[in-house]
Amino acid sequence: MDQSWLSLNPVTSGSLNPNQTTSLNVQPLITTLTAGTYTGHITFTFKETNGNTIFPVVTVTLTINGPCLDINPPSTTFTTTTQFTLTDCGATAGTLAVSFSTTDGGSWLSATTSPTSINPNGTSVLTITVNNQILSPGTYTGQVYVVMTDIYGITTSIQVNVTYTQS
């Protein structure tokens, strides 16, 4: 095997008669990989009855689909409390983490998700709150970041740009 993420179970030696088959399980170790396509090779050694040794190679291609997170509506006009629906459009469950920042460094913006765990095709509500009681008239900008980490530790994220005008 030419890739550290490939393992073979059982690793065995023995003999096969002509037309005989055996089964082996290729087990990828995906906890250290990110979303993408990976290729590896497993080389077998066979000694033929005539004494020749052959080395057939099996190519293994592994595709890891990362988590998928969708937001609805994709854009909106912000009020003091604005909600979005987050949907897990991937094949694995994940946990959500939220962070936020403002361009002016102020504390007028906050965000939460509920629930913080999400299953495939499941939803969570992202609530973004603007504390307009502390704002002077003007336009304010900030960002809310939602990061979803799936059960394999692979992440995806969504950024929501917030523009709020205080009259």
Letter for the amino acid at 94? G
Is residue 35 over pLDDT 90? no
- Report whether CATH 2.60.40.10 matches the domain 69-166: yes
- As a whole number, mean pLDDT of residues 99-127 equals 95
pTM: 0.68
Tens digits of residue pLDDT in 15-27: 777 788 888 888 8
| Candidate from 10-19, 54-63, 97-106 with smallest mean pLDDT | 10-19
Letter for the amino acid at 147? V
Structural domain boundaries in the chain: 6-64, 69-166
Query: What's the pLDDT score for residue 147?
Result: 96
